[in-house]
Structure 1
């Protein structure tokens, strides 16, 4: 399950960067919200999957509150989820 979580965390990070980078650029500078709609839903689904998997792994791997907090904090920072795979040990 940890490998699935690492994959989801990577994909969630990619979707977040695309949403913030391309989506916001097109919406606010070119007045075209198409990319926000296109990247917003996949990012939302991946974010929810990330949080659910983090909760499941917290209990399965008996993470401390600090580890769980760091994993959740990394989901909010751009590029943060790219470090989850390095932070967690199999």
Structure 2
């Protein structure tokens, strides 16, 4: 069964989740380069800044989606907490998509 199409707020959340996870991965690679065998800190310098911006974008997108999609409190809390551990926002977005929290069926 195909999943229902995303609302604009659902699409914003999905994009933010992907960007947040991508910059987390970049930051992890940057930390490996800095503290690993190469001692190069440009990855942390670059991805630290990008991830900071992506984190803030994800938090705002989560709040917008939660408000517009009328998420229950547990979904908002999970959405916000997912940004803390590395690479959790994408699996959460997939789960929210399957539960219908990012589609028009969740509203109203």
TM-score by length of 2: 0.75
The aligned runs of 1:69-88 (5 Å cut-off) are: 69-88=77-96
Q: Give structure 2 stretches of 5+ with no counterpart.
A: 1-8, 104-108
The structure that has the greater radius of gyration is 2
Deviation (angstroms), 1:80: 0.5
TM-score by length of 1: 0.88
Give the 4+ runs in structure 1 shifted more than 4 A.
Answer: none
Q: Give structure 1 stretches of 5+ with no counterpart.
A: none
**Residue of structure 2 in register with 1:4 after alignment:** 12
- 2:40 is paired with a residue whose SS is coil
Name the CA distance, whole Å, in 2 between partners of 1:32 and 1:13.
Answer: 22
